[in-house]
Amino acid sequence: MKPGTRALGVAESYDGSDEATDSTLAGAVVRADRVVDGVGFERCTVGGTDATESVRALTDRLAREDVRYVFLAGIALAWYNVADLHGVYEVVERPVLSVSFEESTGLDDAIAAAFDGAERERRLAIYRDQPPRHRVAVDGDDVYVRWVGTDEDTARRVVREFTPAGGRPEPLRVARLAARAGHEYRCGDGSGRETRKG
């Protein structure tokens, strides 16, 4: 991969309290040689269903035609606000890769326990429509990757080449830092945290 190849990483942060209403999304454009080339912010609703639209709005806000890949930190943002990778791909028209960092049996039971009726069925429908997770060994660690808009070999290669150290793709590492700082600045609570489910 050329050193100047760019990827957008999207991560989030919110305070996790019962009073929290929205989460801060940060997008970081990072080159394959680890140069940070842009940062943007958006919000999504805690416990809502607007994660897909928020990610699409963030990519639109950044307006970076030179970005080749989009990384998401998991797919269940802000307390089961499930992002639809297919829906993101339809708009951004470049490969979308969701990376999570813990082994999981899935979110069906957790979503079913947290919501009732139509709210539960809507989230479960989105979640079950997502591509399966695949274990990818990166720098001595395992990450779990879903992808849309590319093939398995390319997805595995891109994740590895954007992960120079530490088991976390650099666009997501930078986006997580930006999301925490942005949320703490915006909300002034000093307790911003990201979720990594899905």
Closest CA to 179 of 14, 6, 7, 8: 14
Q: On the CB side of 107, how many CA atoms lie within 13 Å of its CA?
A: 29
Q: Check whether 92 has a pLDDT greater than 90.
A: yes
Q: Which of 100, 38, 33 is nearest to 67 (CA)?
A: 38
- The backbone torsions φ and ψ at residue 44, rounded to the nearest 5 degrees and listed phi first, read -140, 160
- Amino acid (1-letter code) at residue 109: D
Q: Which two tokens stand for residue 190?
A: 């000093």
pLDDT in tens, 12-39: 999 877 788 999 999 999 999 999 999 9
Q: At residue 194, does pLDDT exceed 50?
A: no
Q: What is the pTM of this model?
A: 0.93
For the cut 90, the answer to whether the pLDDT of residue 42 exceeds it is yes
Note the pLDDT tens digit of each residue in 158-179. 999 999 988 899 999 999 999 9
Domains of the chain listed by start with CATH number:
6-187 (3.30.2170.10)
Other C-beta atoms closer than 10 Å to the C-beta of 41 total 17
Neighbours of 93 (CB within 10 A): 9
d(CA 63, CA 71): 16
Q: What secondary structure letter does DSSP report for 196?
A: -
Give the pair of three-digit tokens for residue 115.
């919501």
Q: 32: which 2 tokens?
A: 């394959």
Model confidence at 195, in pLDDT bands (50, 70, 90)? very low
